[in-house]
Structure 1
Amino acid sequence: MEVILVRHTTPDIAKGICYGQADIEVATTFEEEVSSILKKVPVNDADVTYYSSPLQRCKLLAEKLSSTVIFDNRLKELDFGDWELQKWNDIDKKELDIWMNDFVKTPAKNGESYIDLHNRTTNFLTELTTKNHQKVVLVTHAGVMRSLWAYMNKIPLEKSFELKLNYGDTLTFHL
C-alpha cells in the first residue's frame, strides 16, 4: 500500500506561540498553498482513500483533495495541554527545560508525550494495514509525519525532528 503524508497549509497564528491540538484557522495564503499541493497529491481519485486530522487546518485541505474524507483523531498533532496557545517564552522555564530534555517521554502539563503521539499514530498505521487500500493520503501535522517516518525508517524518535518539514510538504512510503 502506498501512503502519502501531507502536511497542512500555514496556520493563522503568530510565530512563537505553542500550538498542537488547538483548532487554528488557516492563513490567507491557503488557496495559493493548496494549488501547489494539488500538483503533488492525487485529487478525487477513486483508487485512493483519504484520511485527515479533524483539525480545520487539515480538514479544509483534505476537503479540497476529496469529497470523501475519513477523519481520525489519531492523526491530530501533539497535545500540548496547558501550554496550548501560550507564547513559548511565557511557559514556565523549569517545566519547559524538563520537557526539552526528554520530549519523547515527558508530556507538557495536562498534555501528551511524543511517545503517546507515536503510539496512537502507529496504532492507526497498524489498523490501516488491515484495510484493503491500494493507496492512501493522510492529511496531517508535522509531529505525526515525523512519528510515522521514524517508525517506517526505524529512526529513533529522539532523532525524528531532524526531518525538516514545511507547510504543504509531502512524504511517501509503502506499507
Structure 2
Amino acid sequence: MELFFVRHTSVNVPKGICYGQSNVPVCETFEEEAEAVKLMLAGVQFEAVYSSPLSRCRKLARYCGFEDRMVLSDRLKEMYFGEWEMKEWHNIDDGKISLWYEDWINHPAEGGESFRMLYGRVASFIDEIKVADFSNVLIFAHGGVINCARVYAGITTFDKAFDSTPAYGEIVRIKI
C-alpha cells in the first residue's frame, strides 16, 4: 500500500505563532498552490481519501476534487498545543516552554499533546487503514502528522522527525 500524504497549503498566520489545531485561514496564494497540488495528483487512482477535519486540509481536498470521497478523521489533526494555541512562541511562559523544548517528544504542551501522543493518534490511523486492501490512499494532513507517518514507516526517528518537515503543498509518498 502506498500512502500519499499532502500537506495543506500556506497559512495566513504571522511567523512565530503557535497554531496547531486552530482553524486558521489559508494564504491568498491558495488557488495557485492548490492547483499545483491538483496537477501532481492527476492521473493517480485512489481507493480511499482521508483528511484532517481542520479547514486548511478540507479546503485543499475540496479544491482537488475529493469533497464527495473524503473521510474526515480527528486522528489526522495537527498536534494540539493547548494553552499555547495562537500565542507567539516567544511569549509562552519560559519555564513551561523550556520543559517542553527539553523533551518535546514526551512532554506535552501546556494543556495539549506531546509528539509521542500525536504519533499514537497517527499510528492508530495507519494501523487501521493498512488492513484494508488498498493500493493507493490519499491523505490531506499537516506537517506534524506527516512527520509521524515517516517515523512509523522507519524513514526517520522521533528525535529527527522535524529535520525535514514537508513544505506547504508537498506530497510525501510512503509505502506501508
Rounded to whole Å, the distance in 2 between the matches of 1:161 and 1:103 is 11
The residue aligned with 2:17 is 17
| Residue in structure 2 matched with residue 132 of structure 1 by the alignment | 133
Partner of residue 3, structure 1: 3
Match for residue 96 of structure 2? 95
How far off its partner does 1:154 sit?
5.3
CA distance in structure 1 between the partners assigned to 2:3 and 2:79 by the alignment: 21
The equivalent of 2:148 in structure 1 is 147
1:83 correspondence with 2:53: no
* CA apart distance, 1:18: 0.5
Question: How far 1:38 sits from its partner (Å)?
Answer: 1.1
Structure 1 residue runs of 4+, over 6 Å off?
A: none
| Residue correspondence of structure 1 range 59-78 to structure 2 within 5 A | 59-65=58-64, 66=66, 67-78=68-79
Decide whether the 8 Å contact of 2:166 with 2:172 is kept in 1.
no
Q: Residue deviations 1:99-153, cap 9 Å, x none?
A: 0110000001110110000001000000011222221011000000001111102
Tell me the TM-score normalized by structure 2: 0.94
Q: Distance in 2 between matches of 1:48 and 1:40?
A: 17
Q: How many residues align?
A: 174
Partner Cα separation in structure 1 for residue 71 and residue 50 of structure 2: 5
Q: Distance in 1 between matches of 2:43 and 2:70?
A: 11
Helix, strand or coil: the match of 1:146? helix
How many Å apart are 1:164 and its aligned residue?
Answer: 3.2
Unaligned runs of 5+ in 1: none
SS of the residue 1:34 aligns to: helix
- Which whole-Å CA distance do the structure 2 matches of 1:124 and 1:150 have between them? 14
Query: TM-score with structure 1 length normalisation?
Result: 0.94
Deviation at 1:11, TM superposition (A): 1.1
Letter in 1 for 2:174: F
Q: Aligned in 2, Cα 1:154/1:43: closer, same or farther, shift over 3 Å? A: closer
TM-superposed CA distance for 1:94, in Å, is 1.1
Query: Would you say 1:55 and 2:67 are equivalent positions?
Result: no
CA distance in 2: counterparts of 1:131 and 1:51, whole angstroms? 14
Query: Structure 1 vs Structure 2: percent identity of aligned residues?
Result: 34
